[in-house]
């Protein structure tokens, strides 16, 4: 199975400041069709997960543009340009290139 490793696992941030989460995969996530199926999800306290980013860098509909995804191969990053109070929660990366699909451990974002 592809292991997804996130860092840090806990991220205290100041409102209005940037935040960055790293996700590394144990194998390349480039699929045979040329796409890289790396997704980012946000799970606010008490809520279901919500996808923010698909195929590395594409924002889902309704996702604020302060969220951005980047990376390639085995190394990926989610950035929040200016953290807002509503961004508190746990963030997961997930790969959909290889079966079984696998998630990172999650990064808990909290306000300092």
Which residues lie near another protein (CB under 8 A)?
Answer: 35, 37, 39, 41, 43, 48-51, 54-55, 58, 60, 90, 92, 94, 96, 99-106
Can you say whether residue 16 is alpha, beta or left, with left for phi > 0 and alpha for psi between -120 and 50 degrees?
left
In the bound state with another protein, the residue whose beta carbon lies nearer, of 13 and 91, is: 91
The 3-state DSSP class for residue 86 equals helix
Taking the complex as a whole, the smallest distance from the CB of residue 33 to another protein amounts, in Å, to 9
Helices (H), 3-74: none
In the bound state with another protein, the residue whose beta carbon lies nearer, of 51 and 66, is: 51
In the bound state with another protein, the residue whose beta carbon lies nearer, of 61 and 65, is: 61
In angstroms, the CA 104 to CA 112 distance is 23
In the bound state with another protein, the residue whose beta carbon lies nearer, of 36 and 74, is: 36
Among 100, 101, 84, 82, which residue's Cα sits nearest to residue 92? 101
Taking the complex as a whole, the smallest distance from the CB of residue 83 to another protein amounts, in Å, to 22
């Amino acid at each position: 199975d592809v292991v997804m490793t996130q860092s840090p696992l806990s991220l205290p941030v100041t409102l209005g400041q940037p935040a960055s989460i790293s996700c590394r995969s144990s194998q390349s996530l480039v699929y045979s069709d040329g796409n890289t199926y790396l997704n980012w999800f946000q799970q606010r306290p008490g809520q279901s997960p919500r996808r923010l980013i698909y195929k590395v860098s594409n924002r889902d509909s309704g996702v604020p543009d302060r969220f951005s995804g980047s990376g390639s191969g085995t190394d990926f990053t989610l950035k929040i340009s200016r953290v807002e109070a509503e961004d508190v929660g746990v963030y997961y990366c997930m790969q959909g290139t290889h079966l079984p699909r696998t998630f990172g451990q999650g990064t808990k974002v909290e306000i300092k």
